[in-house]
């Protein structure tokens, strides 16, 4: 019995070692690429990999047992892009410059801890099902075609965002974000509070700048390009979840998701925002990830608090990217409340389950926006927001947009009815009448 137990422990330990080997190799390789004298692109990519790794490992640890491979890849990217600025924000609050070892030590410590948790988890079992039947084979073939099409869409999106990413010099708002990142690394205490937007677009390039001491256009823009590509996968997964039953052959949800991903892949604004140091790509990715997690909670997925906390954290990062993320909060609130009611939770369960995610989201957002609102330059931010909203007075004001929306809706109905009437008035021999 003792020998059998020892043998079993050795087998388990060997399996854990094999699972940990890729992570250890990745971290060691990335650290070697940080050595001075190597090309700046290598060092910058390695710094980004080490900074994005903790968030990716956190997502894998939380959702590996309940999500498929595509969803895990999407959530890992969401986690990486979201957690990296959240790690750098408190480090910036420390007095003095942001020394290279501070973000590196924080990222490595988190990666080792989360990696240990991930290795100790029981790996999911993929692909073990009943013997194939004719229906199963047809569904499997349809899913294969669907994934091939999705891969082509993602490759198209990457081809429009990644090539020559560093070919153009920093322009306009990009230069302001990079200068603020440099000031942050050199210890300017309130530099983030002088920004009229959220700090994420400054924090993401500040990480590799602090670790390597140098940055160029390619390295600064890379996380925003990755976020833009990840958003394509996110909209596909959302449509697939909302409109198709899990495990069934591709249907309306798959088609809608592929079309939505294709439209975003070809959208000029999304392409442009994915190639510059600006908040838009991160905001779209964060809000898409938050809505996905909220929808999974609404569906009745296991471990509801994991999805709720993830949705709250991603929503907070979206707000830290830009105020526009507030427009996604009503959808999140509806999904959370409807999901809690759908689960039949009593009032005490509501309070127990919803309080931690709410506190997490509010706390993350307040960690920046409370000192931001108390800063002496906040008045200029209000003027900026008023100008963006088309108002001359910086004081908060409401504007009734309903007449405009009514006109647009009326025009759409007229065009639709006119098209339908024109079609109905035709006959095979020519025009009616």
Q: Give the tens place of pLDDT for each residue, 162-201.
A: 999 999 899 989 999 999 999 999 999 889 998 888 999 9
Whole-angstrom distance, CA of residue 394 vs CA of residue 413 = 37
Residue 272: which pLDDT band, with cuts at 50, 70 and 90? Answer: very high
Structure confidence at residue 20 (pLDDT):
84
Count how many Cα atoms sit within 13 Å of the Cα of residue 72 in the half-sphere of its side chain.
Answer: 13
Q: What percent of the chain has pLDDT over 90?
A: 65
Question: 335 or 374: which carries more pLDDT confidence?
Answer: 335
Cβ-Cβ contacts under 8 Å for 181 (sequence gap 6 or more) = 202, 203, 205, 206, 209, 215, 220
Residue 10: which pLDDT band, with cuts at 50, 70 and 90? Answer: very low
Structure confidence at residue 238 (pLDDT):
94
Phi then psi for residue 431, to 5 deg, are -70, 145
Structure confidence at residue 204 (pLDDT):
97
Write the CA distances from 187 to 95, 149, 183, 229, 367, integer angstroms: 7, 48, 6, 33, 19
Least confidently predicted of 179-188, 218-227, 412-421: 412-421
Specify the pTM: 0.85
Question: 14 or 337: which carries more pLDDT confidence?
Answer: 337
Cβ-Cβ contacts under 8 Å for 433 (sequence gap 6 or more) = 425
Residue range 266-271: mean pLDDT, rounded: 95
Residue range 145-163: mean pLDDT, rounded: 95
Residue 430 has pLDDT above 60, yes or no: no
Question: 149 or 249: which carries more pLDDT confidence?
Answer: 149
Residue 9 has pLDDT above 50, yes or no: no
Domain ranges within the chain, ordered by starting residue: 68-99+141-394
Q: What percent of the chain has pLDDT over 70?
A: 79
Whole-angstrom distance, CA of residue 394 vs CA of residue 410 = 33
Structure confidence at residue 248 (pLDDT):
54
Least confidently predicted of 9-18, 200-209, 402-411: 9-18
Structure confidence at residue 33 (pLDDT):
97
Residue 385 has pLDDT above 90, yes or no: no
Cβ-Cβ contacts under 8 Å for 412 (sequence gap 6 or more) = none
Please report which residue ranges of 244-273 form alpha helices under DSSP H.
252-266, 268-273
Largest Cα–Cα separation, the chain:
96
Residue 3: which pLDDT band, with cuts at 50, 70 and 90? Answer: very low
Contact 77, 282 (CB under 8 A): no
Question: 323 or 222: which carries more pLDDT confidence?
Answer: 222
Residue 231 has pLDDT above 50, yes or no: yes
Residue range 66-88: mean pLDDT, rounded: 96
| Average pLDDT value for the chain | 86
Q: Give the tens place of pLDDT for each residue, 281-294.
A: 999 999 999 999 99
Question: 314, 376, 304: which is closest to 74 by C-alpha?
Answer: 314
Residue range 127-149: mean pLDDT, rounded: 69
Residue 429 has pLDDT above 50, yes or no: no
| Distance, CA of 323 to chain centre | 16
Question: 400 or 395: which carries more pLDDT confidence?
Answer: 400
Residue 420 has pLDDT above 50, yes or no: no
Residue 210 has pLDDT above 50, yes or no: yes
Structure confidence at residue 172 (pLDDT):
87
Question: 164, 163, 165, 155: which is closest to 262 by C-alpha?
Answer: 155
């Amino acid at each position: 019995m003792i020998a059998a137990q020892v043998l079993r422990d050795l087998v388990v330990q060997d399996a854990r070692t094999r699972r940990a080997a890729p992570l250890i190799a990745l971290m060691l390789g990335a650290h070697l690429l940080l050595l001075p004298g190597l090309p700046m692109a290598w060092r910058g990519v390695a710094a980004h990999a080490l900074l994005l790794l903790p968030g990716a490992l956190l997502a894998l640890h939380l959702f590996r047992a309940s999500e498929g491979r595509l969803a895990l890849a999407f959530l890992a990217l969401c986690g990486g892009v979201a957690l990296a600025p959240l790690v750098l924000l408190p480090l910036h609050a420390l007095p003095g410059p942001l020394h290279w070892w501070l973000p590196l030590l924080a990222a490595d410590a988190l990666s080792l801890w989360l990696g240990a948790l991930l290795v100790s988890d029981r790996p999911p079992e993929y692909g073990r099902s009943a013997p194939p039947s004719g229906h199963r084979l047809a569904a499997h073939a349809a899913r294969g075609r669907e994934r091939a099409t999705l891969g082509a869409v993602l490759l198209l999106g990457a081809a429009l965002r990644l090539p020559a990413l560093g070919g153009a010099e920093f322009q306009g708002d990009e230069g302001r974000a990079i200068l603020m990142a440099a000031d942050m690394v050199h210890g300017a205490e309130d530099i983030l509070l002088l920004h009229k937007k959220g700090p994420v677009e400054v924090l993401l390039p500040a990480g590799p700048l602090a670790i390597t001491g140098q940055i160029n256009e390619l390295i600064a823009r890379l996380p925003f390009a990755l976020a833009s590509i990840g958003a394509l996968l996110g909209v596909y997964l959302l449509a697939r979840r909302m409109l198709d039953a899990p495990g069934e052959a591709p249907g309306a949800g798959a088609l809608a998701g592929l079309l939505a991903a294709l439209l975003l892949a070809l959208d000029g604004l999304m392409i442009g925002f994915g190639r510059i140091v600006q908040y838009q790509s991160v905001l779209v990715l964060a809000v898409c990830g938050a809505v996905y997690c909220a929808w999974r909670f609404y569906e009745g997925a296991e471990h509801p608090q994991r999805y709720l906390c993830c949705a709250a954290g991603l929503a907070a990062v979206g707000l830290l990217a830009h105020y526009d993320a507030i427009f996604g909060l009503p959808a999140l609130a509806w999904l959370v409340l409807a999901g809690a009611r759908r689960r039949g939770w009593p009032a005490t369960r509501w309070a127990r389950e919803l309080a931690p995610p709410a506190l997490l989201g509010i706390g993350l957002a307040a960690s920046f926006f409370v000192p931001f609102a108390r800063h002496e330059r906040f008045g200029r931010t209000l003027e900026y927001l008023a100008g963006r909203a088309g108002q001359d007075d910086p004081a908060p004001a409401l504007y009734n947009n309903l007449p405009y929306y009514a006109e647009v809706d009326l025009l759409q109905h007229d065009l639709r009815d006119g098209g339908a009437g024109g079609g109905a008035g035709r006959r095979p021999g020519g025009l009616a009448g």
